[in-house]
Structure 1
Amino acid sequence: MAELQEKPSRIDTNDKKDKSNPDALNEDDAQTNVSSPEDDLVLDGVEPVYAAKAGVLNQAINDIGMGRYQWQLFCVAGFGWAQDNLWLILTSLILDPVANEFGVGQPALLTLSQNIGLCAGAAFWGLGADIFGRKWAFNLTLGVTTVFALAAAGSPNFAMIAVFDAFWSFGVGGNMPVDSALFLEFVPQSHQYLLTVLASFWAISQLIVTGVAWGLLGKFTCEEDAVTCLKGDNMGWRWLLLSMGGLCGIMWFLRFGCFQMYESPKYFMGKGKDEEAVRIVHEIARRNGKESTLTVEDLKACENYGSEDQQVETNTKAAFKRKLRSLGGEHVSRLFASKKLGFSSGMIILIWAFIGLAFPLYNNFIPYTLAKKGATYGDGSTYITYRNSCIIAVLGVPGAILGGYLVEINRLGRKGTLSVSAILTGVFICGSTTALTSNSLLAWNCVYSFVSNIMYAVLCAYTPEVFPTRDRGTGNALAAITNRFMGVMGTFIHVIQLFEADDCIQPPSLLCFPTWRVPRPCSPVELYS
């Protein structure tokens, strides 16, 4: 989009464009008036009134700039990234000790219940964010996770830990779809690269949980070759749940009790509440020690665009009807309202589908694989298993940070970085099948962790940028639901043992190749801050 010029801060109501033809208006604006990567005029394709108002709000946020409120939001939004990965990794870490204690022949069923909960959470919280608002979802997800994670520590059997895993994952599933949409709607254009940097929380959380697991599971877990595994000898996984549940509770308290969260002004604008949208913008300016010149009249002036039917989409009378229509799928249909937007939405969802199928087939079983392979190599103690898991996690942190830098390089951008990191992820997964010792297996997984965190950092930032603002929660939810559903399918493949031994490593590596091929030639837009 290098040829696109900056959108003016206010809408000229005397514009000579044909306002009765919304497609013509947006086609022209697609070449001239785009101010940010969220680019509503280019992608909406159907409602110029909403797109024009979104442009005014974009400029108002840009005028305020990056300040105290946005930096605080950056921190508490990072908690969502952290919890999303923390609980995925935690399930993989406790998989082996839980299976040994309860004598389960199919430990992958625990991962299956997790992915079912994640899929349900992505659907409920992600779609709900466009119906009852981002704020409620943002504040509640961590609380739900905390309650069920703490309860899971007392599970008397495998069935109960699986049920609690599904329930805490229901809370976890809403973090990424909601938090990314909310953060992007408050941050000015100049700092939208921070959406990629937020993935550093994702990597740091992996380091935290594996570090704690090394200390607890490495000392208070039955050995792999133990004949019997009693509860008293296997308390490590329960203490790990209590520790991480407590950490999640602290994050929830900081987010809900110590940070005054505002609802998205674009959410209010989309519901016909222009006065509330303007009030929120002025509150953000006040928190940042600045003033905003935005007025309700600036938004009302945008209603000169389009036909009367299109204008009614943003007035107060239609708010209740819009809510009912959103429940009927209007948010979904708007993601495919034009050829360009439909193609963009489809490609993003397809990428998430491939990754969702690959991830549980490999990443969810890394500690399990380290333990089993270590036993084969003659050094499979629980201490070494969780030490190696911690080392692998360390390499993910610089990968996520590097991703935030690479997306701003013109020759790479989002698509280039995503393409290169995805193919390297597949290559290193394939390479791990050649390992003949624990150290070589560790080395392959370290470089895998590094490049896969680059891939996730870019993809998590690119996804909400592509979707139009009003339907961003729904778009994020569809991507997350697809990803989680394919995660269920991936785990099911493992449960029914379609692949055994090293063969189970090859399918996820092959699935990374279409992920590489899709973004570079097919994605319709390259987005730069």
Structure 2
Amino acid sequence: MSASTDTVRVSERLDALPFTRRHGKILGGSGLGWALDAMDVGLISFIIAALAAQWKLEPAQASWIASAGFAGMAIGASLGGLLADRFGRRQVFALTLLVYGVATGASALVGGLAALLVLRFVVGLGLGAELPVASTYVSEFAPARIRGRVIVFLEAFWAVGWTAAAVIGYLVVPSSADGWRWAFALGAIPAVYALIVRWGLPESPRWLASRGRNGEAVAIVRDLEAAAGRVSLEPSNDGVSASAPAPRARVGALWSPALRAHTASLWVLWFCVNFSYYGAFIWIPTILVAQGYDLVRSFGFTLIITLAQLPGYAVAAWLIEAWGRRATLATFLAGSAIAAVLFGTASGEVAVIATGMLLSFFNLGAWGALYAATPETYPTSLRGTGAGWAAGVGRIASILAPLSVPPLLAAGGAPLLFIVFAAFFAVAVVASLFLREQRGRALS
């Protein structure tokens, strides 16, 4: 039996399964890693606000703390996808957690800006690789009929991590002069969790089968079937490991005639959504401080705004299987554009919180739909590469966004800044209309 035939049979058996406790363990285990990632990214927005006051940083210097991490994320996302297609999803997932956990913990010991920038770049390498690898990993276990919903639930762990960051930012960072160091120390948890991922979660059976390791793939599928109360008599075929295409060939394949329109749409989407999201949410605490709110109140507002992410994910998880990927993504992106304009022109505490919650609701719902649509666009042999490079292009925008905020604020204040973010969301709406609709379809 050929490796391609084995892959099809494994995929069919995975798609025929109900959602079991084994699926829940895979989703929860990956989601915890996702939440820890979000916690690290979210913490930096609070730490920047604290360090700007403590270290007397200029706005440009503060923006580089965020951008250094995003520079690492751009490289990490691209390399992580390539490595995941070559060495497996679980192995690379565990490695990314180890890298950014150790580097985040080390950040608690820095004494100046230069050392912090270097470590934030290393943190970014791990963070950038983890997200596309995790979404690819979970999508390859999820049955086709609920795959989009499962990935949105995975992305919902981002809200859990960002909320944890907001709580730490509110309670720990302002508590003392070393509060930001304790926040970084808490960010070292992923290094320990990497060991659990490495030995506690299975490898993707779709990836194993695509590499000719069908015996291992079938063993994992049988375990899932047993959890569902099913017994399969499907014979195991160990086969011979298939040769993987070279990294350059995999990247080139993303622009083959069959995929180039979808790749272009995804790259535009990832760039625009990253620019608007990180430009806004990394700077919200600092912008609120600049508008006259003290550090504690600014962090409290940010915590409330962050809580609106969870219902955004919940609604997106329902709509993505009811409406499909394109319609759900376009709707949430359009809502993000409107909310950005409202937030940028809001005045008064109630208006700031209400419009900020709207922006949080729509923007994170859009993220859930985007993460669901990205890995399923590509075949198994290119899935990690495709998701990783899309995320890598997006990280270029996340580097530029924090650097763009100070001059935009100087030129026109918050209204101009958030109108620019709204324009990027509007471009993303158009790009979403060219995506491949994969609702209910088997992964190729």
**TM-score, normalised on structure 2?**
0.91
Matched, 1:517 2:437: no
Note the 1:293-308 alignment, pairs <5 A.
293-296=233-236
Q: Would you say 1:188 and 2:107 are equivalent positions?
A: no
| Separation of aligned partners in 2, 1:475 and 1:460 | 12
Aligned-partner Cα distance in 2 for 1:511–1:388: 25
Distance 2:333 2:427 in 1: 9
Instruction: Check conservation: 1:93, 1:213, Cα contact below 8 A.
Output: yes
How far the C-alpha of 1:495 sits from its partner, in A, is 5.9
**Equivalent residue for 2:246?**
326
Q: What does residue 402 of structure 1 align with? A: 315
Matching residue's letter, 2:361? F
Equivalent pair of 1:355/1:511 in contact (CA under 8 Å) = yes
- 2:398 counterpart of 1:482: no
State the Cα deviation string for residues 329-366 of structure 1 (Å, max 9, x = none): 22223333343x32222212221111122223222101
Q: 1:114 aligns with which of 61, 69, 83?
A: 69
Q: For residue 360 of structure 1, what is the aligned residue in structure 2?
A: 278
Contact 1:145 1:172 in 2 (8 A): yes
- Give, in whole Å, the separation in 2 of the partners of 1:109 and 1:525: 38
Q: Who is 2:287 aligned against?
A: 369
- Residues in 1 aligned to 2:295 and 2:108: alpha-carbon distance in whole angstroms: 20
| Residues in 1 aligned to 2:107 and 2:144: alpha-carbon distance in whole angstroms | 42
Q: Partner of 2:349 in structure 1?
A: 438
Residue 100 (structure 1) aligns with: 53
In the alignment, structure 1 residue 216 sits paired with structure 2 residue 168: no
Going from structure 1 to structure 2, the CA distance change for 1:51 and 1:121 (only over 3 Å counts) comes to: same
CA distance in 1, matches of 2:426, 2:107: 37
**Aligned AA (1:197):** F
- 1:10-29 to 2 correspondences below 5 Å: none
Amino acid across the alignment from 2:365: I
Matches within 5 A, 1:5-404: 52-105=5-58, 106=60, 107-192=62-147, 193-220=149-176, 234-246=177-189, 248-249=190-191, 251-256=193-198, 259=200, 261-286=201-226, 290-296=230-236, 316=240, 319=242, 322-323=243-244, 325-327=245-247, 329-339=248-258, 341-373=259-291, 375=292, 380-404=293-317
1:457 paired with 2:368, answer: yes
Q: Distance in 1 between the 2:188 and 2:274 partners? A: 25
Normalised by the length of structure 1, the TM-score is: 0.77
Name the structure with the higher helix share: 2
CA distances 1:253-285 after superposition (whole Å, capped 9, x unpaired): 54345x2x2222222222233333333333444
Question: What CA distance in whole angstroms lies between the structure 1 residues aligned with 2:5 and 2:253?
Answer: 16
Matches of 1:407 and 1:163 in 2, distance apart? 39
Helix, strand or coil at the partner of 2:321: coil
Structure 1 449/64 Cα, relative in aligned 2: closer, same or farther at 3 Å? Answer: closer
Measure how far apart 1:146 and its partner are. 1.5
Task: Check 1:402–1:118 CA distance in 2 against 1; reply closer, same or farther (3 A cut).
Answer: same
Deviation at 1:289, TM superposition (A): 5.4
Contact 1:343 1:524 in 2 (8 A): no
> What is the aligned partner in structure 1 of residue 331 from structure 2?
420
3-state DSSP of counterpart to 1:266? helix
| Alpha-carbon distance in 2 for matches of 1:461, 1:63 | 19
Among residues 431, 434, 439, which one is paired with 1:527 in the alignment?
Answer: 439
Q: 2: distance between equivalents of 1:156 and 1:148? A: 15
SS at match of 1:186: coil
Amino acid in structure 2 at the alignment position of 1:332: V
The residue correspondences of 1:496-515 to structure 2 (distance < 5 A) are: 500=411, 501-502=413-414, 503-515=416-428
- Matched letter for residue 169 of structure 2: A
Letter in 2 for 1:162: L
Count matched residues: 436
Q: Displacement of 1:204 after TM fit? A: 1.4
Amino acid at match of 1:356: N
How far off is 1:130 after superposition? 0.6
The answer to whether the Cα contact below 8 Å between 1:345 and 1:467 also exists between their aligned partners in 2 is: no
CA distance in 2, matches of 1:85, 1:359: 13
Measure, in 2, the Cα distance between the counterparts of 1:439 and 1:447: 12
Residue aligned with 2:374, SS: helix
SS of equivalent residue, structure 2 residue 246:
helix
Q: Which amino acid aligns with 2:106?
A: A
> Alpha-carbon deviation of 1:286?
4.6
Q: Deviations over 1:188-231 (max 9, x none)?
A: 224312111112211111111101211123433xxxxxxxxxxx
1:63 offset after TM fit, Å? 4.0
Match of 1:43 in 2: none
The letter of the residue matching 2:381 is: R
**Is the alpha carbon distance of 1:443 and 1:131 closer, same or farther for their aligned partners in structure 2, counting shifts above 3 Å?**
same
Structure 1: which 5+ residue stretches go unaligned? 1-10, 12-48, 221-233, 300-314
Taking structure 1 as reference, are residues 81 and 421 closer, same or farther at Cα in structure 2, changes over 3 Å only?
same
For residue 8 of structure 1, what is the aligned residue in structure 2? none
Judge conservation of contact 2:324–2:437 (CA < 8 Å) in 1.
no
Distance 1:433 1:276 in 2: 53
Partner of 1:224: none
**How many percent of aligned residue pairs carry the same amino acid?**
22
Contact preservation (8 Å) 1:62, 1:188: yes
Render the CA deviation track for 1:385-440: whole Å, top value 9, x for unaligned: 1111110111111111111011122xx32111111110111111111222222332
Q: CA offsets, 1:231-265, max 9 Å, x none?
A: xxx2221111122333x3454354345x2x22222
Paired with 2:438 and 2:218, the residues of 1 have a C-alpha distance of 30
Verify the 8 A CA contact 1:50 1:270 in the aligned structure 2.
yes
